[in-house]
Amino acid sequence: MAGSKVGSIGEYIREQRTRAKISLRQLADVSGISNPYLSQIERGLRKPSAEILQQIAKGLRISAEALYVQAGILEAREADTDLQAAVRADILLTERQKQVLLDIYASFLKENEADGLPPADAEHAEPDQAATDEAEQAMSEPTRNGKEEVG
């Protein structure tokens, strides 16, 4: 099992590097890791330490936590929402910017929870039928002398 994890971390690093559109040599340069060693990690021949993973994460501008989870160093957290996953995967944002966005998002979720909004249903809630009926009635009411009646 540990052997397959080593391979998966290498595959994950290669995938992230490809998505970032940087070469192996460029990643080696920006992360301060030798090109041959990085190549061995990507091919699953070497198991990188947490420190090496942190350097690779910095070079890829991704979360070190994501690499730690892939490598089996950390336990995976609760599954991200689509928004959280998108923020974490965005290569145009710095780690600090990603964390600020995720903190703001988390505060909105807590606020909604405090207001009694169900987390899963908040996005897909059906409109209030009374409000819908009232709006439809207001739109269909006749006007006097071609002008809307002001109440």
Structural domains in the chain plus CATH codes: 1-76 (1.10.260.40), 78-137 (no CATH)
Residue 113: its pLDDT value, please?
87
CB atoms within 10 A of CB 11: 14
If you average pLDDT over residues 52-76, what whole number do you get? 86
Q: What share of the chain is helix, strand, coil (3-state, %, to 5)?
A: 60, 0, 35
pLDDT digits (tens, 9 = 90+) for 48-60: 998 999 999 999 9
Percent of the chain residues topping a pLDDT of 90: 33
Task: Please give the pLDDT value at position 122.
Answer: 40
pLDDT at residue number 123 = 44
